[in-house]
Structure 1
Amino acid sequence: MKQNSLKGWFKSGSPGVWLSGGAVSIAVIMTLGLLAVIAVRGLAHFWPADLIQASYNVPGMANHLVIGEIVQKEEVPRERLKSAGLPVPDSGPEFMTRELVKVGNRDINGADFTWIVGDWLAEQSTPPELMALERREWGNFYGYLVNIKEQGKVVAEGETAWPELQSRITRVSDLADALRRLEKSDIGKVNAGLERLRLQTRRLELEGRLTPVAQADMDAERAELDASYKDIETRLGALHAQVNRDSVTVRDANGKEIEVQLGQIVHAYQPNAMNTLTKLGFYFSKMWEFLSDDPREANTEGGIFPAIFGTVMMTLIMAVIVTPFGVLAAVYLREYAKQNTFTRLIRIAVNNLAGVPAIVYGVFGLGFFVYVLGGSLDRLFFPEALPAPTFGTPGLLWASLTLALLAVPVVIVATEEGLARIPRTVREGSLALGATKAETLWKIVLPMASPAMMTGMILAVARAAGEVAPLMLVGVVKLAPSLPLDGNYPYLHLDQKIMHLGFHIYDVGFQSPNVEAARPLVYATALLLVLVIATLNLSAVWIRNHLREKYKALDS
């Protein structure tokens, strides 16, 4: 009886349902767990953790003070510490605590992080006057504030030094913003004008049309640009003098004092003296800085805005390119081409293209788009710039085209499946009412297939946004000095190299000289990239459902 009921249970298909549900549940749990790990490790980096001060008592060595932020704790076997050369006694517990401490002060200590034995720490405390300075170079400084100087003269010390430091850092930050605007906008505009004149002169020389009148006009324009540059240079010198006017004297854990220019300081804060609300405000300001600022210190500090901008810009250009080609190819294959062996071979080729490794597309893009097509464009339209390449080098346009080539099979397959689901009676009814085939296709068929078209397009965009391997060959770099979109003609510079979130993760995670400092940024950038791709996929679902509801009457 039990055997029959068991056979009936298997025949009913319930085991398959339970297995499928279990597999989906495991996949969801693993995905959420991965996102949770990435979020915790990445977002915790922006929290202003308390700083400890402790005496480090290494057996057989002189004691010294340690100031820093505890990043990680772990239990390790005593024998492992002994094999690492540490003076560990023979007797004692089997396991000892090892702590990774961010001690900062790289210009003094030589490294930002150090492993210490937690059992040898004594007299731990969190003095409220302990200070963290986030610097543009040499990482963080941890220690005590001694005094504030203006042009070498002490203007504040003791209890009045900290509020004075905050006000002067705000002043220097405003000056640094003005300095950055001059360097990026005004000087960039002058340099672009000078380069345009140089190329124009060279073109007239090649064409034999460089007359004295034309030369005089360009000389006059060049003189105006030179005068503008000298004026900007004078303003830059005045701003640099103002930025470097003030300095701060600080003291490390062992009493060594150094002087730091306020122009090198991004933030100064005392985490041990901050309450929860103050820390929350600092936390969100750091997150905004991460999203909106430029990277510093070999991409291990600062923000990732150029990478976000480059990823979004490249993806948008790719979508503009891939959508019409993919949709037109699918419409031809489904609506106009004869369904024979040749079209079946084309469909097989399209499906196979979707499985080609991405790096192969990168090699093709480098060989065809960059060297062949880009080199030809340079010879035809930019001879005055040669031998320096304009489009004959990796850049934004070629990266977008390479990704479009990679994503077009997805759009073709999705669009063709959407067209195949439309009943033939709909087409015949439209034709019977007097509409032409083109009108039927444009006003009836394509609107009904638009959910599948949009889904295919955005899924292709989501896939392209996460690609890294082909982009390393066709236009993505470690650090781009300027954005491809600015106020200089032609405003969108398709020949310019860009940064990308995926490549930024690879570079910071595997090419960084400061691995421990870069690790939290890898998690934070990875979380951001996952959120971008998830947003694109959710957008695909919403648009598909919206269009499906809109054209449900036609489908029925």
Structure 2
Amino acid sequence: MKQWYKSGAPWIWLNAGAVAISVIMVVGLIGLIAVRGLSHFWPAEIVEFQVGDPELGLGQMVVGEHVRSQTIPVQVARDAGIAVPPELGEGDLVTRHLIKQGNRDVTGRDFAWYPELQMSEWQTPPDAMVLERREWGDFFGYPLRLLENGEVVAEGEGLWDALQERIARGNDLFREIRRIERRDVGVISERMEALRLQQRGLQRDPDIAPEALADALERIESEGASLQAEFQVLRQELDVLRQASRRDVLVASVAGGEEVEISVGEIVSAVQPNSLSLSAKAAAYVQQFWAFVSGEPREANTAGGIFPAIFGTVTMVLLMSLIVSPFGVLAAIYLREYAKQGPLLKLIRISVYNLAGVPSIVYGVFGLGFFVYTLGGSLDELFYSDRLPSPTFGSPALIWASLTLALLTLPVVIVSTEEGLARIPSSVRQGSLALGATKSETLWKVVVPLATPAMMTGMILAIARAAGEVAPLMLVGVVKLAPTLPVDGSFPFVHLDRQIMHLGFHIYDVGFQSPNVEAARPLVYATALVLVILIIVLNMTAISIRNRLRERYRAASD
């Protein structure tokens, strides 16, 4: 046994066990997130049952999706107002079920608990449907007839196919309306704002001649009138499209038989999950997940998609990488290759190491005070004074979020690059110098290329940390809902002064700020899974680049 301990085998097994446990924990966590997040998009069966006081008879009809069940003590059930048979004692347990009944505009709440003691046997009617709406959440009920301008155009067997065609038409109209509002109207608004600023600048210019001022103001007024005419044309087109989207109306019945009219233009999708085959459910599942990844959020982020958050996260990380790479690499090269070794350099290195351990919220406060208020406010005063007091760069924006993350991850890049430079053998430097190369040529043509994999390792660590940060971004550029993306077809194409959405902040907002907790719960897991996948993709891309560089320079050295 002593010989076994002296051989070091126990420590090898201990390390292997620790690695195995860590891998199991990581895989288990990702698996839990994936199961709870991805299961949300599977078309669940719609159940129908009656509930009421057993002594008075069953009365209320309920239609919806079963979310989960819970076993509670009898006393808790009685305190909650549930009628419990008197023969049950305090030590007994009763079961209650959480049902997503939707129809918030009718019932006032999306989710409700119902005790199993008061429920009839569950039914799964094949004609029960769930409608995903742009407002008021999901609708559960039964389709009755389809109206066009008040006239019945479909009911019975042909109703469902006609409804799907009208929903597709309504979605096309909605996308066209959004395109005009965000692109065409947005361009006109930007041009009118530019004219307003130009007029304000001319009026404040003391050196301009009165005749030139009058001519310029007349030209601006003429261009403004032309833009107003274009806007009126777009407004009329929007009115026609909105009227067309309100043409079709679906008449449906809710639990209990009450008829409700729903504008087809407000319906995103309609599904009858109880009548779908397994392949049809799989197709609906893929469609719902794609809509989640590529769509925009709705209903205070408790419905819809997360594409703006994905786009904002990727854009910010890429911009951060472009900023931190040159500064971190140049700082490491100076500290390792050019700076004079001494107490001052040791103090600088200690400061860099300590910066890596500073809480991220401190960087956020610094970014808000220095980047946003000081630097951004100065830029507004120098170049955008005509827009004041409305800030341009003097408010949280994409550029300040990226700079804050670059400052936060800078110590990681410096340390990794410096360690990579230190691992280059001195014989390589001496051989290059012996062949007549200068110190600068040796550094940039021999040493730095060999240290590139270490630089990429620093970038990998920086990307992994930056993509998951939330606290500093809440102060310097990330918001709950950004109406437009920071990249579009308008000059300068990448709008650094806009605020963005972020997956990490989206998870925080949905998980802790949502007014509808039960509706937000699965979206938290789904968004977290997308964030983990995004970080893995970014890291794998950086690792692939690092491996290629390593093989390239290894082959060159051979």
Same fold (TM > 0.5): yes
Partner secondary structure for residue 238 of structure 1: helix
1:34 aligns with 29
Q: 2: CA distance between counterparts of 1:73 and 1:484?
A: 43
What is the one-letter code of the residue matched to 1:160? Answer: G
Q: Following TM superposition, by how much is the alpha carbon of 1:365 offset from its aligned partner in structure 2, in angstroms?
A: 0.3
* 532-541 or 346-355, which deviates more: 532-541
2:447 aligns with 445
2:112 aligns with 114
1:133 aligns with 131
Q: 2: CA distance between counterparts of 1:499 and 1:157?
A: 43
Q: What are the Cα deviations for residues 437-480 of structure 1, in whole angstroms up to 9, with x where unaligned?
A: 11111111111000010110122012101000000000110001
Query: Is residue 72 of structure 1 aligned with residue 68 of structure 2?
Result: yes
Q: 2: CA distance between counterparts of 1:510 and 1:59?
A: 38
Distance change in 2, residues 1:495/1:61 (3 Å): farther
Q: Are the aligned partners of 1:411 and 1:460 in contact in 2 as well (CA < 8 Å)?
A: yes
* 90-99 or 18-27, which deviates more: 90-99
Q: 2: CA distance between counterparts of 1:522 and 1:204?
A: 51
1:186 aligns with 184
Equivalent residue pairs, number: 551
Q: 2: CA distance between counterparts of 1:147 and 1:258?
A: 11
Q: Are the aligned partners of 2:141 and 2:252 in contact in 1 as well (CA < 8 Å)?
A: yes
1:500 aligns with 502
* 197-206 or 404-413, which deviates more: 197-206
Q: Are the aligned partners of 2:99 and 2:111 in contact in 1 as well (CA < 8 Å)?
A: yes
List runs of 5+ in structure 1 lacking aligned partners: 1-5
2:98 aligns with 100
1:177 aligns with 175
* 77-86 or 140-149, which deviates more: 77-86
Q: 1: CA distance between counterparts of 2:213 and 2:443?
A: 57
What is the one-letter code of the residue matched to 2:49? Answer: A
What is the one-letter code of the residue matched to 1:376? Answer: S
* 546-555 or 317-326, which deviates more: 546-555
2:228 aligns with 226
Q: Are the aligned partners of 1:459 and 1:540 in contact in 2 as well (CA < 8 Å)?
A: no
1:22 aligns with 17
5 Å matches for 1:436-475?
436-475=438-477
Q: 1: CA distance between counterparts of 2:186 and 2:473?
A: 27
2:2 aligns with 7
Q: What are the Cα deviations for residues 464-500 of structure 1, in whole angstroms up to 9, with x where unaligned?
A: 0100000000011000111111122222211111110
Q: 1: CA distance between counterparts of 2:250 and 2:365?
A: 52
What is the one-letter code of the residue matched to 1:444? Answer: V
RMSD of Structure 2 on Structure 1 (CA):
1.4
Q: 1: CA distance between counterparts of 2:333 and 2:245?
A: 62
Normalised to the residue count of structure 1, the TM-score between the two structures is 0.97
Q: Following TM superposition, by how much is the alpha carbon of 1:420 offset from its aligned partner in structure 2, in angstroms?
A: 0.4
2:373 aligns with 371
Q: 2: CA distance between counterparts of 1:183 and 1:334?
A: 54
Q: 2: CA distance between counterparts of 1:167 and 1:537?
A: 43
1:538 aligns with 540
What is the one-letter code of the residue matched to 2:170? Answer: V
Q: Which of 148, 162, 167 is 1:150 aligned to?
A: 148
Q: Are the aligned partners of 1:206 and 1:384 in contact in 2 as well (CA < 8 Å)?
A: no
Q: 2: CA distance between counterparts of 1:382 and 1:65?
A: 62
Q: Following TM superposition, by how much is the alpha carbon of 1:82 offset from its aligned partner in structure 2, in angstroms?
A: 2.2
2:40 aligns with 45
Distance change in 2, residues 1:239/1:436 (3 Å): same
Q: 2: CA distance between counterparts of 1:22 and 1:59?
A: 57
Partner secondary structure for residue 26 of structure 1: helix
What is the one-letter code of the residue matched to 2:79? Answer: S
Q: 2: CA distance between counterparts of 1:352 and 1:280?
A: 51
Q: 2: CA distance between counterparts of 1:441 and 1:391?
A: 38
1:511 aligns with 513
Q: What are the Cα deviations for residues 107-154 of structure 1, in whole angstroms up to 9, with x where unaligned?
A: 111111111122432232111111111111111111111111111222
Q: Are the aligned partners of 2:456 and 2:543 in contact in 1 as well (CA < 8 Å)?
A: no
Q: Are the aligned partners of 1:60 and 1:87 in contact in 2 as well (CA < 8 Å)?
A: no
Q: Are the aligned partners of 1:467 and 1:502 in contact in 2 as well (CA < 8 Å)?
A: yes
What is the one-letter code of the residue matched to 1:393? Answer: S
Q: Are the aligned partners of 2:147 and 2:153 in contact in 1 as well (CA < 8 Å)?
A: yes
Q: Are the aligned partners of 1:57 and 1:122 in contact in 2 as well (CA < 8 Å)?
A: no
Q: Are the aligned partners of 2:463 and 2:539 in contact in 1 as well (CA < 8 Å)?
A: no
Q: Following TM superposition, by how much is the alpha carbon of 1:8 offset from its aligned partner in structure 2, in angstroms?
A: 2.0
Q: Following TM superposition, by how much is the alpha carbon of 1:62 offset from its aligned partner in structure 2, in angstroms?
A: 4.5
Q: Following TM superposition, by how much is the alpha carbon of 1:543 offset from its aligned partner in structure 2, in angstroms?
A: 2.5
5 Å matches for 1:270-285?
270-285=272-287
What is the one-letter code of the residue matched to 1:260? Answer: I
Q: 1: CA distance between counterparts of 2:28 and 2:326?
A: 38
Query: Is residue 252 of structure 1 aligned with residue 254 of structure 2?
Result: yes
Q: What are the Cα deviations for residues 303-330 of structure 1, in whole angstroms up to 9, with x where unaligned?
A: 0111111111111111111000000000
Partner secondary structure for residue 75 of structure 2: helix
Q: What are the Cα deviations for residues 14-54 of structure 1, in whole angstroms up to 9, with x where unaligned?
A: 22212211111111111111111110110011111110111
List runs of 5+ in structure 2 lacking aligned partners: none
Partner secondary structure for residue 122 of structure 2: strand
1:400 aligns with 402
Q: Following TM superposition, by how much is the alpha carbon of 1:229 offset from its aligned partner in structure 2, in angstroms?
A: 0.6
Q: 1: CA distance between counterparts of 2:205 and 2:461?
A: 48
What is the one-letter code of the residue matched to 1:45? Answer: H
Q: Following TM superposition, by how much is the alpha carbon of 1:95 offset from its aligned partner in structure 2, in angstroms?
A: 2.5
Q: Following TM superposition, by how much is the alpha carbon of 1:205 offset from its aligned partner in structure 2, in angstroms?
A: 2.2
What is the one-letter code of the residue matched to 2:225? Answer: A
Q: 2: CA distance between counterparts of 1:221 and 1:435?
A: 63
Q: Following TM superposition, by how much is the alpha carbon of 1:103 offset from its aligned partner in structure 2, in angstroms?
A: 0.6
Task: Give the 4+ runs in structure 1 shifted more than 6 A.
Answer: none
2:526 aligns with 524
Normalised to the residue count of structure 2, the TM-score between the two structures is 0.96
Q: Which of 388, 396, 399 is 2:390 aligned to?
A: 388
